Amino acid sequence: MSDTIAVVRDIVADTLAIPLEQVTPRANIIDDLGADSLDVVEMVIRAEERWRIKVPDRDLSTIETAQGFADLLDCLMAETAEARR
């Protein structure tokens, strides 16, 4: 498991106050774990602070699973690293 997905799982579990074991990579954050849109925004803010990146507003609606969220963050971190070169 990548470092990103591990941290994302922690962020999701902490934000939703649920056991980490419930946050599987494929669990739907809204449908399976009970998050609402404000929870997702909180998760994004925590990830932005953790990795010092910016998640574009247009990408908020694409966050469905913990793995998808981690993949998005990995992509944004790579873009940010490339832009800083």
> What residues are annotated to the active site?
36
Q: Alpha-carbon torsion 29, 33, 37, 39, what sign?
A: negative
- Is the Cβ–Cβ distance between 55 and 45 less than 8 Å? no
Angle at 2 between CA 24 and CA 29, to 5 degrees: 30
